[in-house]
Amino acid sequence: MSLAEILTRAPVIPVLVIDEVAHAIPLGRALVAGGLSVLEVTFRTPVAAACIEAMIAEVEGAVVGAGTVINGAMRQRAADLGCAFTVSPGLIAGERADGPVPLLPGIATPTELIAGLAAGFEVFKLFPANIVGGVGALKAFHSPFPQARFCPTGGVSAANAADYLALPNVVCVGGSWVAPAEAVRAGDWDRITRLAREAAALAQRPASPVEG
């Protein structure tokens, strides 16, 4: 499955920081039940790899990737775990689009975007989206970089996700609001499914006009 195919499966990619392996499978099932099948498990906890393996093995319908990938070794580790994709907060020196597993690289500036395009990437993570200009930055990128598509992440929430998704150069957004830490700790999987269902429905809302 190509990165473009993965990113267009749902309007929102949950960005997951999982502290306990026991949470991985019920969390993944709750999100998939709500209509969010593409799951980014960040390499931010000691159990991340085990959580990824558990989700791949046990969560039917899930497309599992690894986030917070910051070097080539981590990209290869994700490939070895069986990840369908990887996500980085920035451009990784020496990494190109044609690697062991699809990579969604992060960019924050036009200079980084030019470097990413030169490395063969076509889809980028705008990060941290709310800090580097958000919707306005993406509107500004559209004319000089019509070939680039984005998954803005960082400060994206239920309140502003639709504004991002209305842009022609946005394929999806990434966010953690669909899996609140307190709900995960409490095992409130029904709440997470409800939040996922609301997020999945964002794709059905009419796009607002894009200015600029």
Q: Is the CB of residue 123 less than 8 Å from the CB of residue 171?
A: yes
pTM: 0.94
Q: Identify whether 32 is part of a domain.
A: yes
Q: Identify whether 211 is part of a domain.
A: no
| Cα 7 to Cα 31: distance, rounded to the nearest angstrom | 16
In 3D, which of 118, 105, 116 has the Cα closest to residue 3?
A: 105
**Domain range spanning residue 87?**
3-204
Q: Identify whether 209 is part of a domain.
A: no
Beta strands in the chain (DSSP E): 12-16, 38-42, 63-67, 85-87, 103-104, 106-107, 123-126, 149-150, 173-175
> Which candidate in 5, 60, 125, 182 is catalytic?
125
Q: Identify whether 100 is part of a domain.
A: yes
Q: Identify whether 95 is part of a domain.
A: yes
Q: Identify whether 16 is part of a domain.
A: yes
Sites in the chain below the pLDDT cut of 50: 206-212
**pLDDT tens digits for 51-99?**
999 999 999 999 999 999 999 999 999 999 999 999 999 999 999 999 9
Active site residue 125: yes
> Which candidate in 5, 20, 40, 182 is catalytic?
40
Domain count, the chain: 1
Q: Identify whether 210 is part of a domain.
A: no
Q: Is the CB of residue 113 less than 8 Å from the CB of residue 107?
A: yes
Contacts of 33 (CB under 8 A, 6+ apart): 193, 196
Active site residue 139: no
Q: Identify whether 195 is part of a domain.
A: yes
For position 131, which CATH number holds?
A: 3.20.20.70
